[in-house]
Structure 1
């Protein structure tokens, strides 16, 4: 019997991990540390919340259907901000606002792929990208990465076939935190250009990049709209995860196809969230710089605390944005270890097995820690618990 689209893929990993908490009681002196999901838990800043309330109370159109591709003012603001950051031309008609960045990826695949087409994903991969490809009847082709978790242009080119429609990169990377060097991103763009395929570049965590300035120069190429499909999220920048506001930047001709997809799945992005994102772009640049500085402080705390667990055999594989990607020292697969950490150390994190092809041994020794919601003291407690874990339990 043919599987349904949803049955062709795995259960949502974050939801699966949350079920490991069912029936578990955490001691008062060892409350749960949840580093499983990369999402801010604090609400938006008060000024932004007031702007959202004002939109809800005084702007009647904010409660109606809006344009399928998003509010014109927000599209223009993101175009201007992107052009400023990357020092390359971006127009409002090259921007679409979506109901979260995951929807932007889904829309991109809908415009690119037919049944049994292929998209190349570096491993470890972002699991929701793999899930959408499964549900679209598209084959995810795993691209191995090196010891620094960086993909190779040569290896990628060897995987391109007549069915390849895109290469999808995430930088800063989810799950590994790795920031791809500008020259590597440019090389992947040129590879995609040569082969007439798309480069999907997901920069959800761009605002927390460790290096100042533009993460790459692809927008400076005059032909970028023909190859690049750039994805972005306002959710992490302005703490708007529950309002689902993402974006795609690409050629205007592709956006006419994207409009078909978005009209059938959402009609339009949520209006209040869009007004919030617009206010954030216009008013919160300095505040966002402070958010970035805080994330970099927490990143430094990970690096500084690492010797505590390195002495127990743990190894840091990748670090950046919201993520630390670790290799564990135990003689058990990471999905088993993750559940034991819940039970014995009150720590919920995601195993590497959730970011690799089924049956691939690559993720068996790996763990993802989403540390953005831990301050340096919380990171120290997390490392104490990891160091104290006894594999014989």
Structure 2
């Protein structure tokens, strides 16, 4: 555990508490809460005393059934005897389940940099080795580099689209190519789709598990945290090859016994509302996004910003010799605005910042990004 990086969110949270009035562009959450149907489903939970006892390890049947319907209609993924749905306590648990199920100590998992820090942490906790493959200058995947990194110890390639931390969305053609590489090398393709509804400028989301005959080696991860304002309820789900059901059942039973049943009832209500709930809130997120991107244009001579057509993140490369964590501390302490340092996402040889704007209202976004721009203009000459 000493080799695992400490989570950055609590560190930044402490700095924010020490500097009252700081506007956070740090943690990736949305500004809205769960839909009415999610809240309305809670009383149904209390009507049955059996709901206060342990339930099925992989999730209650009604929730898994509506998830299967959603996957079929929206993602083009059919649930067959060759695959299965497992309800998890959030997307992070789905990833941990997958890593523990498919690896032995010393195995390798390929992740693309910048990576999502909890993925790297989970790989390290499993006593495996994260193999880092750089994305290109616009944070898009490099399939040839991914394939070149595969060894006899490789167990999986991890992709995230829309991406955290960069906001990049990977084209269908690229994801198909990565999935084919995994099939060819007899390894798993783990694909995180937590931000599936957050795409802009007409960009489409693609689910690799919809590729015909990909069920035996494709693992898909989903979360309700973002789309349904559900972060603290800790509900997500995964689609897995049928042969992983037994090991994942063992893992989840040991760590969790079952996903929190009251949250599963709320999730059932949320999914009955459907993706239209998230889509209703997208115009506000888009308006905030426009404010952020317009303001960042003032930093063109000090920062490089790649296209970010998904999620609710921007990933800035700052043209300075300062270490990114030192820059983050100065921005919080002097300019009362918080972002995350790129080092926690595996960036090297440069100063990078991740901005998250999903939790902001327009007025707060304008003030927060204004502070950031002022700070960087003053600090970076």
Say yes or no: TM over 0.5.
Answer: yes
- 1:312-331 per-position Cα deviation (integer Å, ceiling 9, x unaligned): 52331342312111122333
Aligned mate of 2:174, from 184, 198, 205: 184
Change over 3 Å in CA distance of 1:206–1:34 after alignment to 2: same
Q: Give structure 2 stretches of 5+ with no counterpart.
A: none
Change over 3 Å in CA distance of 1:392–1:189 after alignment to 2: closer
The answer on 1:313 being equivalent to 2:313 is: no
Worse-matched range after superposition: 175-184 or 217-226: 217-226
Alignment of 1:231-310 (within 5 A): 231-310=221-300
Aligned mate of 2:103, from 113, 116, 133: 113
The answer on 1:90 being equivalent to 2:114 is: no
TM-score, with structure 2 as normaliser: 0.93
DSSP-derived class of the 2:197 partner: helix
Give the deviation of 1:210 after TM superposition.
Answer: 2.5
Say whether the 8 Å CA contact 2:305–2:316 is kept in structure 1. Answer: yes
Say whether the 8 Å CA contact 1:56–1:272 is kept in structure 2. Answer: yes
CA distance in 2, matches of 1:40, 1:173: 16
CA distance in 2, matches of 1:162, 1:331: 38
Change over 3 Å in CA distance of 1:334–1:213 after alignment to 2: closer
Alignment of 1:320-359 (within 5 A): 320-356=310-346
**Between Structure 1 and Structure 2, how many residues are aligned?**
377
| Alignment correspondent of 1:197 | 187
CA distance in 1, matches of 2:315, 2:16: 22
| Alignment correspondent of 1:55 | 44
Change over 3 Å in CA distance of 1:218–1:43 after alignment to 2: closer
| Alignment correspondent of 2:374 | 388
Taking only aligned residues, the RMSD between alpha carbons, in angstroms, comes to 2.1
Change over 3 Å in CA distance of 1:285–1:217 after alignment to 2: closer
DSSP-derived class of the 1:250 partner: strand
Change over 3 Å in CA distance of 1:135–1:377 after alignment to 2: same
The answer on 1:9 being equivalent to 2:4 is: yes
CA distance in 2, matches of 1:90, 1:298: 37
| Alignment correspondent of 1:77 | 66
Say whether the 8 Å CA contact 2:41–2:268 is kept in structure 1. Answer: no
The answer on 1:137 being equivalent to 2:123 is: no
| Alignment correspondent of 1:3 | none
Worse-matched range after superposition: 238-247 or 292-301: 292-301
Say whether the 8 Å CA contact 1:186–1:217 is kept in structure 2. Answer: no
CA distance in 2, matches of 1:120, 1:211: 30
DSSP-derived class of the 2:140 partner: coil
CA distance in 1, matches of 2:253, 2:46: 26
Give the deviation of 1:214 after TM superposition.
Answer: 5.9
Which is bigger in relative contact order (C-alpha 8 A, separation at least 6)?
A: 2
Say whether the 8 Å CA contact 2:318–2:351 is kept in structure 1. Answer: yes
Give the deviation of 1:217 after TM superposition.
Answer: 5.6
DSSP-derived class of the 1:332 partner: coil
Worse-matched range after superposition: 74-83 or 163-172: 74-83
Alignment of 1:150-161 (within 5 A): 150-161=140-151
